[in-house]
Amino acid sequence: MHVERRFQSEDGLSLFFRDFNAAGGKKTPALCLPGLTRNSRDFIDLAERLSAQRRVLCPDFRGRGFSDYDPDYSNYKPPTYVGDVLRLLELEKIGKVVLIGTSLGGLMSMAIAALKPDLPLGIIINDIGPEVAPEGLARILDYVGAQPPVASWAEAVGQARETYGPWLPGLSDHEWLDMAKRGYRQDKTGAIRLDFDQKIGDAAREAGATPIDPWELFAALKPLPTLVLRGALSDLLSEEIFDRMAVAKPDLVRVTVPDRGHAPLLNEPVALAAIDAFLESLPG
């Protein structure tokens, strides 16, 4: 069970988050950070599992889910998102946290570790590295914010299959409907739409080179226990990049999730076993 809550960003947006086991637990709280166009619904099952022992916070970034859209789409960038989630942790008086990040959320976890090295107890990164394979990036930039509207849940499921099908083989019809309902939402008019501001795509395509080398951000993880999950079919986190990460951080815990591309859903037995073992290894 969880409660749905809101907080205000420093620039005045009302941002949404799900709070699992708000009363806390014996273990260090966890913060779950979703991918570029995704939202907190992706983490509901995992958060419920983890909340038996710890508090778990799952925010919708600005422009996603139940959070406000930003009137200035140039704010849709990682430094802004990092500032928002750090504010959330400050407001909730959380001084130590386990970071769990998928894709964009994984990059944000690296940035948080660089900015606030005493904040993370450990980090779990889902299918992203300090370098992105160009073919995977091109694929994502091609569709983000450019998908046509749908007229029914059946069309939403079909669009989700078209977008993610090659990377999530073997999902049942029920699982595809669940996938669609995590990425689409029926609005107040009854229309079914993708649950993010389409201008996020414009911001992503207009983004220039990052001012900080992501490998420098990854270096901030050297003193931190870190687990990286890679989908065996991933076109974003290549095997070559995955191997280079292990060279840069020899104690990196690496697990490959079979029959998954970008990104594992974190409900796979291999992923769950890896997450459970990693969390159990942490000191708090």
Task: Give the pLDDT score at 211.
Answer: 64
pLDDT tens digits for range 63-75: 999 999 999 999 9
3-state helix/strand/coil string of the chain: CEEEEEEECCCCCEEEEEEECCCCCCCCCEEEECCCCCCHHHHHHHHHHHCCCCCEEEECCCCECCCCCCCCHHHCCHHHHHHHHHHHHHHCCCCCEEEEEECHHHHHHHHHHHHCCCCEEEEEEECCCCCCCHHHHHHHHHHCCCCCCCCCHHHHHHHHHHHHHHHCCCCCHHHHHHHHHHHEEECCCCCEEECECCHHHHHHHHCCCCCCCHHHHHHCCCCCCEEEEEECCCCCCCHHHHHHHHHHCCCCEEEEECCCCCCCCCCCHHHHHHHHHHHHHCCC
Task: Give the pLDDT score at 208.
Answer: 65
- In CATH, what is the architecture of 2-144+211-281? 3-Layer(aba) Sandwich (3.40)
Q: Which residues of the chain have pLDDT under 70?
A: 208-211
Q: For the whole model, what pTM was predicted?
A: 0.97
Task: Give the pLDDT score at 241.
Answer: 97
- Sequence spans of domains, the chain: 2-144+211-281
